[in-house]
Structure formats: structure tokens, C-alpha cells
Structure 1
Amino acid sequence: MDSNELLQIAAEACDDKRAENIVALDMREVSLIADYFLICHGSNERQVDAISKGIKDSVEEKGYQVKKIEGRDHSRWVLVDLEYVVVHIFHKDEREYYNLEKLWGDADRVTINI
């Protein structure tokens, strides 16, 4: 399993569903939770849900497994657990409020090719 490849697959899936402000954080030095956090947002609940479904479909198509998806019932903050990569998909208002990039400010940003 290559967590960099999984990060890239998830980022491309976000981009395919027109997620906004896609940011990847390298969590390996600051947390045991995952190797990477991928953070993005959608402009409404329908788009947030579509992004999460797109990620699920893309990673499964490439032979990876989704461990868990949380938050789809309201689609304001959906978390997609890919084991080594955790994807946070926010509604725009929630992203500004929770500001994970600032909370995990010690984590380095990772360049993703999308």
C-alpha cells in the first residue's frame, strides 16, 4: 500500500467533483491518526455528498478499501477514512469555522498534482 498513491487518487476524485481549496497535510510527524489529511469543501450539502461518493468509487476502483464514512446523513462535514489517508469534506461554512489547517498548523503541506 502506498499512502502517496492513495492521497493522489482521493485528491483527483475531489477535483473531479469540483471540490474547492483542496489541501493535503503530511501528518506523519504530528499525529498517529494517519499519514495524510486531505481537506476540501463543497458549496452545498449535495456537492459534499457527491465528493464523498466520488472518493469511495475511485479508491475502490483502484483496489483500495474505504474503512468508514462518517457524516453523510447531514453532509456538513463528511470524514472518509482510507486508513492511511483521512479525507475531510466540509460544507464551506463549517470549513471556515473548524479551520483544520490552522488546528494542525505544525503539519507540512503536501503538493498534489490535480
Structure 2
Amino acid sequence: MLPESPITRHARRAAEVCVDNKAADVVLLDLHGVTDMTDYFVIASGTSDTHVRGIAKQILAKLGATGMDAVAVEGLSPGQWVVIDYLDFVVHVFHPSLRSFYQLERLWGDAPALELTR
């Protein structure tokens, strides 16, 4: 098995931060060969607006501490759907009702989900 790329490790780390902060239904989608937009999506749900914001802030802090700074963050203040763009991977932290409505996993159904170790 080939070693993981730094981008894959950072995307996994973002997913692990979600799990560590009690996010629900954390998924890491491998978008290689599905789109040229980005390599990975991390998708997770919080239980409330406050929880969604908290998860997103922890991702920004933990990855920022390793030198990974997001190029864009959208939706942090409302806390319904926070999108954190790292170019090579994008993190989506949803309020459950919006995740159910937008169904990103279904939209990107051709993308395989990577196994998370946590």
C-alpha cells in the first residue's frame, strides 16, 4: 500500500477533528476522478448552530496549528452550514436539517468514502 499524500493526511485530520468534537455521520469522500474542483470532501453534522460553529472553529484551529490555513470560510456566523475551503479539500459542517436537504453524499455518490480510523 502506498503512503498517504500530505493532502490526504490533512483531510483525514479534519475528519478526525470532527469526530473528536462529537460530530455525527462524518464522511471523507475521495473526489479524485469524479471532479477537478477538489480532491476530498469532509462532511459532518453538528447537533445545533453552536455545535456546528464549534466543530468548524476546532478544525480551523487544529489545522492552522499545523500550518494549514483555509483559503475561505463561509457560513461560520449563522452556523447552519459552514464551508471551509483548503483548495485540495473542502470541509462541510452542517446542521442536520440542511445536510438532509442538500444530500451532498448522494450528489457526489460516485465518490468512494475513505475509512476513518476514529
Establish whether TM, by shorter chain, passes 0.5: yes
Offset of residue 29 of structure 1: 0.9
Q: 1:62 is matched by which residue type in structure 2?
A: T
3-state SS in 2 of match to 1:47: helix
Consecutive unaligned residues of structure 1, counting only runs of 5 or more, are none
Give the Cα–Cα distance (whole angstroms) in 1 for the partners of residues 29 and 70 of structure 2. 19
**Matching residue of 1:44:** 48
Which of 3-12 and 88-97 deviates more? Answer: 3-12
Map residues 1-114 of structure 1 onto 2, 5 A cutoff.
Answer: 2-114=6-118
Overall identity of the aligned pairs, in %: 34
TM-score by length of 2: 0.92
Q: CA RMSD in A?
A: 1.1
Give the Cα–Cα distance (whole angstroms) in 1 for the partners of residues 84 and 8 of structure 2. 16
Count the aligned residue pairs: 114
- Please tell me whether the aligned partners of residues 48 and 90 of structure 1 are also in contact (alpha carbons under 8 angstroms): yes
Offset of residue 73 of structure 1: 2.1
- Please tell me whether the aligned partners of residues 42 and 48 of structure 1 are also in contact (alpha carbons under 8 angstroms): yes
TM-score by length of 1: 0.95
Consecutive unaligned residues of structure 2, counting only runs of 5 or more, are none
3-state SS in 2 of match to 1:52: helix
